[in-house]
Structure 1
Amino acid sequence: MSSTDSNLTTITSIDSITLEADDPEAAQRFYADAFGLDGARVRTVGSDATTSGFRGFTVSLVVSQPANVRALFDAAVAAGASVLKPVEKSLWGIGGVVQAPDGAIWNLATSSKKDTAPASREFESIVVLLASDDVSASKAFYTARGLKVAKSFGSYVDFATPASPIGLGLYKRRALAKTSGVDEAGSGSHRLRLHSDGGSFTDPDGFVWEPAA
Structure 2
Amino acid sequence: MALSLDIITLGVPQVEAARTFYASAFSSAATGDDHTAGLDLNGTGRLAVDQIEALATHAGTKPATSGFRGYVLSCIVDRPAEVKALLDTAAANGATVVKPAKKALFGEFAAVYQAPDGAVWKLAAATKKDTEPVPDPPQPTETAVFLGVAKPKASKAFYETLGMSVDRDYGDKFIDFTIADGVCRLGLLPRKGLAKDAGVDEHGDGFSALVLTHTAPSRDDVDTLLAAAASAGGRVTTPATQTDEGHYAGHFTDPDGYHWRITTHP
State if a TM-score over 0.5 links the two structures. yes
Match of 1:89 in 2: 103
Deviation larger for 163-172 or 102-111: 163-172
CA contact (8 A) 1:71 1:119 kept: no
| Letter aligned with residue 99 of structure 1 | Q
- Pick aligned residue for 1:113 from 116, 124, 128: 128
**TM-score normalised to structure 2 length:** 0.73
Paired with 1:118 and 1:129, the residues of 2 have a C-alpha distance of 27
Match of 2:178 in 1: 160
Q: How many residues in Structure 1 have an aligned counterpart in Structure 2?
A: 204
Match of 2:18 in 1: 27
Query: How do 1:44-123 residues align onto structure 2 when only pairs under 5 Å count?
Result: 44-48=49-53, 49-90=63-104, 91-115=106-130, 116-120=132-136, 121-123=138-140
Query: How do 1:124-139 residues align onto structure 2 when only pairs under 5 Å count?
Result: 124-139=141-156
Paired with 2:47 and 2:128, the residues of 1 have a C-alpha distance of 28
Identity over aligned residues, as a percent? 42
Q: Could you list the runs of 5+ residues in structure 2 that have no partner in the other structure?
A: 31-37, 40-45, 54-62, 217-224, 227-250
Q: Secondary structure at the match of 2:208?
A: coil
The list of structure 1 runs, each at least 4 consecutive aligned residues, that deviate by more than 3 angstroms after superposition, is 197-200
**TM-score normalised to structure 1 length:** 0.91
The Cα of 1:36 is off from its aligned counterpart by: 2.2
Question: Is 1:208 matched up with 2:263?
Answer: no
CA contact (8 A) 1:51 1:187 kept: yes
Paired with 2:124 and 2:64, the residues of 1 have a C-alpha distance of 30
Match of 1:6 in 2: none
Would the alpha carbon gap of residues 131 and 164 (structure 1) be closer, same or farther in structure 2, given more than 3 Å must change? farther
CA contact (8 A) 1:67 1:119 kept: no
Paired with 2:5 and 2:157, the residues of 1 have a C-alpha distance of 18
Larger radius of gyration: 2
The Cα of 1:164 is off from its aligned counterpart by: 4.6
Paired with 2:134 and 2:254, the residues of 1 have a C-alpha distance of 41
Would the alpha carbon gap of residues 14 and 164 (structure 1) be closer, same or farther in structure 2, given more than 3 Å must change? farther
Paired with 1:35 and 1:169, the residues of 2 have a C-alpha distance of 22
Deviation per residue, 1:82-102 (Å, 9 max, x gap): 011111102232010000000
Q: Could you list the runs of 5+ residues in structure 1 that have no partner in the other structure?
A: 1-8
